Amino acid sequence: MRIHTIIIIILLSQINHAICQQPDNKSVTTGYKKGTLIVIGGGNLDSTIFQEFKKYAGGDSSRIVVIPTALPDDYLLKDSAMFHIKKGFEKYGFGKVTILHTRDTAIANNEEFIEPIKTATGLYFLGGRQWRIADGFLNTKAHKEMFNLLDRGGVIAGSSAGATIQGSYLARGDTKNNQIMMGDHEEGLGFISNIAIDQHVLARNRQFDMFDILKERPELLGIGLDENTAIVVCGDEFKVIGASYVTIYDGTYWSREGSSLKNLPSEEDVFYMLKSGDRYNLKDRKVIVE
Protein backbone atom coordinates (compact mmCIF):
# COMPACT_ATOMS: atom_id res chain seq x y z
CA MET A 1 0.00 0.00 0.00
CA ARG A 2 1.41 3.38 -0.98
CA ILE A 3 2.35 5.83 1.76
CA HIS A 4 -0.11 8.55 0.64
CA THR A 5 -2.97 6.01 0.73
CA ILE A 6 -2.04 5.10 4.29
CA ILE A 7 -1.98 8.78 5.25
CA ILE A 8 -5.46 9.32 3.76
CA ILE A 9 -6.83 6.33 5.67
CA ILE A 10 -5.35 7.65 8.93
CA LEU A 11 -6.79 11.13 8.33
CA LEU A 12 -10.24 9.75 7.54
CA SER A 13 -10.10 7.66 10.68
CA GLN A 14 -9.21 10.71 12.76
CA ILE A 15 -12.00 12.78 11.19
CA ASN A 16 -14.52 10.02 11.83
CA HIS A 17 -13.35 9.76 15.45
CA ALA A 18 -13.68 13.51 15.91
CA ILE A 19 -17.20 13.48 14.50
CA CYS A 20 -18.18 10.65 16.82
CA GLN A 21 -16.87 12.66 19.78
CA GLN A 22 -19.11 15.61 19.00
CA PRO A 23 -22.11 15.86 21.34
CA ASP A 24 -25.47 14.82 19.93
CA ASN A 25 -27.59 17.96 19.55
CA LYS A 26 -30.48 16.04 21.04
CA SER A 27 -28.52 15.65 24.27
CA VAL A 28 -27.44 19.30 24.57
CA THR A 29 -29.39 21.48 26.98
CA THR A 30 -29.73 25.14 26.02
CA GLY A 31 -31.71 28.09 27.25
CA TYR A 32 -33.40 30.47 24.84
CA LYS A 33 -31.00 32.73 22.94
CA LYS A 34 -32.84 35.94 23.81
CA GLY A 35 -34.97 37.23 26.64
CA THR A 36 -35.13 35.85 30.18
CA LEU A 37 -36.83 32.89 31.84
CA ILE A 38 -37.70 32.75 35.53
CA VAL A 39 -38.48 29.21 36.64
CA ILE A 40 -40.01 29.08 40.13
CA GLY A 41 -40.50 26.09 42.43
CA GLY A 42 -43.93 27.01 43.77
CA GLY A 43 -45.22 27.60 47.29
CA ASN A 44 -45.70 30.97 48.93
CA LEU A 45 -43.40 33.41 47.18
CA ASP A 46 -41.87 36.43 48.83
CA SER A 47 -41.64 39.74 47.02
CA THR A 48 -38.05 39.14 45.89
CA ILE A 49 -39.03 36.80 43.08
CA PHE A 50 -41.90 39.00 41.89
CA GLN A 51 -39.59 42.02 41.90
CA GLU A 52 -37.10 40.07 39.77
CA PHE A 53 -39.88 39.33 37.28
CA LYS A 54 -40.94 42.97 37.32
CA LYS A 55 -37.37 44.14 36.71
CA TYR A 56 -36.95 42.02 33.58
CA ALA A 57 -40.47 42.91 32.39
CA GLY A 58 -39.62 46.61 32.33
CA GLY A 59 -40.32 47.85 35.83
CA ASP A 60 -43.20 50.27 36.29
CA SER A 61 -43.78 50.43 32.52
CA SER A 62 -44.19 46.64 32.22
CA ARG A 63 -47.12 45.11 30.35
CA ILE A 64 -47.69 41.54 31.49
CA VAL A 65 -49.91 38.65 30.47
CA VAL A 66 -50.93 36.16 33.17
CA ILE A 67 -52.00 32.65 32.12
CA PRO A 68 -53.95 30.83 34.87
CA THR A 69 -54.86 27.82 32.72
CA ALA A 70 -53.10 25.29 34.99
CA LEU A 71 -55.72 25.97 37.67
CA PRO A 72 -58.89 23.81 37.85
CA ASP A 73 -62.20 24.90 36.37
CA ASP A 74 -63.96 24.93 39.73
CA TYR A 75 -61.74 27.88 40.67
CA LEU A 76 -61.45 29.66 37.32
CA LEU A 77 -65.24 29.67 36.80
CA LYS A 78 -65.82 31.60 40.02
CA ASP A 79 -66.92 35.17 39.37
CA SER A 80 -64.14 36.55 41.56
CA ALA A 81 -61.27 34.41 40.22
CA MET A 82 -59.92 36.75 37.56
CA PHE A 83 -60.35 39.75 39.84
CA HIS A 84 -58.22 38.18 42.58
CA ILE A 85 -55.55 36.97 40.13
CA LYS A 86 -55.19 40.45 38.69
CA LYS A 87 -55.10 42.06 42.13
CA GLY A 88 -52.37 39.65 43.16
CA PHE A 89 -50.06 41.15 40.55
CA GLU A 90 -51.18 44.73 40.95
CA LYS A 91 -50.10 44.70 44.61
CA TYR A 92 -46.51 44.24 43.39
CA GLY A 93 -46.79 47.32 41.19
CA PHE A 94 -47.75 45.76 37.86
CA GLY A 95 -49.98 48.41 36.30
CA LYS A 96 -50.95 46.71 33.04
CA VAL A 97 -52.11 43.14 33.64
CA THR A 98 -54.01 41.06 31.07
CA ILE A 99 -55.31 37.59 31.91
CA LEU A 100 -55.48 35.05 29.09
CA HIS A 101 -57.13 31.69 29.63
CA THR A 102 -58.33 28.97 27.30
CA ARG A 103 -58.46 25.21 27.12
CA ASP A 104 -59.20 25.33 23.38
CA THR A 105 -56.33 25.44 20.89
CA ALA A 106 -58.65 27.02 18.33
CA ILE A 107 -58.95 30.03 20.63
CA ALA A 108 -55.17 30.04 21.22
CA ASN A 109 -54.84 30.33 17.42
CA ASN A 110 -57.19 33.31 17.26
CA GLU A 111 -55.48 36.59 16.36
CA GLU A 112 -57.62 38.70 18.66
CA PHE A 113 -56.95 36.38 21.61
CA ILE A 114 -53.16 36.47 21.19
CA GLU A 115 -52.91 40.23 20.60
CA PRO A 116 -51.95 41.01 24.25
CA ILE A 117 -48.93 38.67 23.97
CA LYS A 118 -47.72 40.60 20.92
CA THR A 119 -47.32 43.79 22.97
CA ALA A 120 -46.40 42.25 26.33
CA THR A 121 -43.03 42.69 28.00
CA GLY A 122 -43.59 39.76 30.35
CA LEU A 123 -45.71 36.63 30.70
CA TYR A 124 -46.43 34.60 33.84
CA PHE A 125 -47.83 31.06 34.18
CA LEU A 126 -49.68 30.31 37.41
CA GLY A 127 -49.44 26.93 39.12
CA GLY A 128 -51.82 23.97 39.04
CA ARG A 129 -51.45 21.07 36.60
CA GLN A 130 -49.01 21.59 33.76
CA TRP A 131 -50.81 19.37 31.25
CA ARG A 132 -53.69 21.85 31.21
CA ILE A 133 -51.34 24.51 29.82
CA ALA A 134 -50.08 22.06 27.20
CA ASP A 135 -53.65 21.22 26.16
CA GLY A 136 -54.53 24.86 25.69
CA PHE A 137 -51.38 26.37 24.21
CA LEU A 138 -48.86 23.84 22.89
CA ASN A 139 -48.00 24.35 19.19
CA THR A 140 -50.46 27.21 18.72
CA LYS A 141 -50.05 30.79 17.51
CA ALA A 142 -50.09 31.86 21.15
CA HIS A 143 -47.15 29.52 21.79
CA LYS A 144 -45.29 31.05 18.84
CA GLU A 145 -45.93 34.55 20.19
CA MET A 146 -44.32 33.53 23.49
CA PHE A 147 -41.08 32.89 21.61
CA ASN A 148 -41.53 36.24 19.85
CA LEU A 149 -41.89 37.88 23.26
CA LEU A 150 -38.50 36.43 24.25
CA ASP A 151 -37.02 37.55 20.92
CA ARG A 152 -38.03 41.12 21.84
CA GLY A 153 -36.04 40.79 25.07
CA GLY A 154 -39.03 40.07 27.28
CA VAL A 155 -39.38 37.67 30.19
CA ILE A 156 -41.43 34.53 30.74
CA ALA A 157 -41.89 33.31 34.30
CA GLY A 158 -43.95 30.65 36.00
CA SER A 159 -44.35 28.93 39.34
CA SER A 160 -44.93 25.22 40.05
CA ALA A 161 -46.78 23.94 36.96
CA GLY A 162 -45.69 27.22 35.37
CA ALA A 163 -42.09 26.16 35.97
CA THR A 164 -42.33 22.63 34.58
CA ILE A 165 -44.15 23.73 31.42
CA GLN A 166 -41.13 25.84 30.40
CA GLY A 167 -38.99 22.76 29.80
CA SER A 168 -38.93 20.50 26.77
CA TYR A 169 -39.95 17.36 28.69
CA LEU A 170 -43.14 17.64 30.77
CA ALA A 171 -42.49 16.02 34.15
CA ARG A 172 -45.60 15.00 36.14
CA GLY A 173 -47.69 15.48 33.01
CA ASP A 174 -50.21 12.72 33.69
CA THR A 175 -53.88 13.66 33.80
CA LYS A 176 -54.68 10.94 36.36
CA ASN A 177 -52.12 11.62 39.07
CA ASN A 178 -49.37 14.16 39.69
CA GLN A 179 -47.15 11.45 41.22
CA ILE A 180 -46.65 9.83 37.81
CA MET A 181 -43.44 11.36 36.47
CA MET A 182 -43.82 10.10 32.87
CA GLY A 183 -47.47 10.41 32.02
CA ASP A 184 -49.86 10.89 29.11
CA HIS A 185 -48.45 14.38 28.41
CA GLU A 186 -44.69 14.52 27.85
CA GLU A 187 -44.06 17.67 25.80
CA GLY A 188 -43.55 21.07 27.36
CA LEU A 189 -43.39 24.48 25.71
CA GLY A 190 -39.65 24.06 25.18
CA PHE A 191 -38.20 27.43 26.17
CA ILE A 192 -35.32 25.36 27.58
CA SER A 193 -34.27 22.38 25.46
CA ASN A 194 -33.46 18.84 26.60
CA ILE A 195 -34.54 19.32 30.21
CA ALA A 196 -37.07 18.04 32.74
CA ILE A 197 -38.09 20.45 35.51
CA ASP A 198 -39.69 19.48 38.81
CA GLN A 199 -41.01 21.72 41.61
CA HIS A 200 -41.85 21.72 45.37
CA VAL A 201 -38.91 19.30 45.57
CA LEU A 202 -37.63 19.50 49.15
CA ALA A 203 -40.90 20.68 50.69
CA ARG A 204 -42.61 17.52 49.39
CA ASN A 205 -39.60 15.15 49.56
CA ARG A 206 -39.54 14.74 45.79
CA GLN A 207 -35.75 14.70 45.48
CA PHE A 208 -35.62 11.10 44.20
CA ASP A 209 -38.59 11.31 41.81
CA MET A 210 -36.56 12.75 38.92
CA PHE A 211 -34.73 9.43 38.52
CA ASP A 212 -37.97 7.88 37.21
CA ILE A 213 -37.52 10.10 34.15
CA LEU A 214 -33.75 9.97 33.82
CA LYS A 215 -33.62 6.18 33.83
CA GLU A 216 -35.74 6.25 30.67
CA ARG A 217 -34.40 9.51 29.24
CA PRO A 218 -30.77 9.74 30.39
CA GLU A 219 -29.97 12.44 27.85
CA LEU A 220 -32.11 14.95 29.75
CA LEU A 221 -30.80 17.39 32.33
CA GLY A 222 -32.94 17.20 35.44
CA ILE A 223 -33.58 20.24 37.61
CA GLY A 224 -35.71 20.32 40.75
CA LEU A 225 -36.72 23.56 42.44
CA ASP A 226 -37.82 23.91 46.03
CA GLU A 227 -40.55 26.30 47.09
CA ASN A 228 -39.91 30.06 47.10
CA THR A 229 -36.82 29.44 44.98
CA ALA A 230 -36.15 30.10 41.29
CA ILE A 231 -33.59 30.05 38.54
CA VAL A 232 -33.18 33.10 36.31
CA VAL A 233 -32.13 31.84 32.87
CA CYS A 234 -30.33 34.11 30.41
CA GLY A 235 -29.09 32.24 27.36
CA ASP A 236 -27.33 29.07 28.46
CA GLU A 237 -26.67 30.17 32.03
CA PHE A 238 -28.81 30.57 35.11
CA LYS A 239 -28.46 32.00 38.59
CA VAL A 240 -30.33 30.81 41.66
CA ILE A 241 -32.49 33.21 43.69
CA GLY A 242 -34.82 32.67 46.61
CA ALA A 243 -34.92 31.10 50.05
CA SER A 244 -34.11 27.43 49.45
CA TYR A 245 -32.29 25.13 47.04
CA VAL A 246 -32.21 23.92 43.44
CA THR A 247 -31.43 20.24 42.86
CA ILE A 248 -29.24 19.35 39.86
CA TYR A 249 -29.34 15.94 38.16
CA ASP A 250 -26.55 15.99 35.57
CA GLY A 251 -24.79 12.71 36.36
CA THR A 252 -22.02 14.45 38.28
CA TYR A 253 -21.47 15.75 41.79
CA TRP A 254 -20.37 19.17 42.99
CA SER A 255 -19.68 20.53 46.46
CA ARG A 256 -17.92 23.57 47.83
CA GLU A 257 -15.93 21.27 50.07
CA GLY A 258 -15.02 18.85 47.30
CA SER A 259 -15.92 15.18 46.94
CA SER A 260 -12.67 13.24 47.34
CA LEU A 261 -13.56 11.97 50.82
CA LYS A 262 -17.28 11.46 50.18
CA ASN A 263 -18.89 8.07 49.66
CA LEU A 264 -21.06 8.84 46.63
CA PRO A 265 -23.60 6.69 44.77
CA SER A 266 -23.19 5.82 41.09
CA GLU A 267 -23.64 8.61 38.53
CA GLU A 268 -27.13 7.28 37.71
CA ASP A 269 -28.25 8.03 41.29
CA VAL A 270 -26.34 11.15 42.24
CA PHE A 271 -27.53 14.74 42.55
CA TYR A 272 -26.42 17.94 44.26
CA MET A 273 -27.88 21.25 45.35
CA LEU A 274 -27.28 24.90 44.55
CA LYS A 275 -28.34 27.88 46.64
CA SER A 276 -29.08 31.56 46.06
CA GLY A 277 -26.26 33.25 44.17
CA ASP A 278 -24.94 30.06 42.57
CA ARG A 279 -24.64 29.98 38.79
CA TYR A 280 -24.79 27.10 36.31
CA ASN A 281 -24.03 26.57 32.62
CA LEU A 282 -26.81 24.52 31.02
CA LYS A 283 -24.90 23.69 27.85
CA ASP A 284 -21.74 22.57 29.63
CA ARG A 285 -23.71 21.10 32.55
CA LYS A 286 -21.30 22.58 35.03
CA VAL A 287 -21.47 24.88 38.03
CA ILE A 288 -19.86 28.23 37.25
CA VAL A 289 -17.15 28.79 39.82
CA GLU A 290 -15.52 32.21 39.91
- Whole-angstrom Cα distance, residue 258 to residue 253? 9
- Whole-angstrom Cα distance, residue 233 to residue 65? 19
Percent of the chain with pLDDT over 90: 88
Confidence at residue 15, expressed as pLDDT on a 0 to 100 scale: 44
R_g of the chain, CA atoms, integer Å: 21
Q: Computed from CA positions of residues 282, 141, 136, 186, in that sequence, does the dihedral angle turn out positive or negative?
A: negative
Q: Give CATH for domain 25-288.
A: 3.40.50.880
pTM: 0.91
Residue 283 — φ and ψ, nearest 5°? -70, -45
- Whole-angstrom Cα distance, residue 132 to residue 229? 23
- Neighbouring CB atoms inside 10 A of 239's CB total 17
Confidence at residue 4, expressed as pLDDT on a 0 to 100 scale: 53
Residue 263 — φ and ψ, nearest 5°? -95, 95
Cα 142 to Cα 73, 122, 148, 186, 216, distances in angstroms: 21, 14, 10, 19, 31
243: confidence class by pLDDT, cuts 50, 70, 90: very high
pLDDT one-digit tens code per residue, 41-92: 999 999 999 999 999 999 999 999 999 999 999 999 999 999 999 999 999 9
Residues near 1 by beta carbon (within 8 Å), at least 6 away in sequence = none
27: confidence class by pLDDT, cuts 50, 70, 90: confident
Residue 154 — φ and ψ, nearest 5°? -80, -175
pLDDT one-digit tens code per residue, 83-108: 999 999 999 999 899 999 999 999 99
- Neighbouring CB atoms inside 10 A of 132's CB total 22
Percent of the chain with pLDDT over 70: 91
Confidence at residue 267, expressed as pLDDT on a 0 to 100 scale: 87
Domain-by-domain residue ranges, the chain?
Answer: 25-288
Average pLDDT over residues 144-166: 98
Query: Is the pLDDT confidence value at 236 over 60?
Result: yes
- Whole-angstrom Cα distance, residue 250 to residue 239? 16
Mapped onto helix, strand or coil, the DSSP state of residue 215 is coil
If phi > 0 it is left, if psi is from -120 to 50 it is alpha, else beta; for residue 172 that is left
Query: Is the pLDDT confidence value at 7 over 80?
Result: no
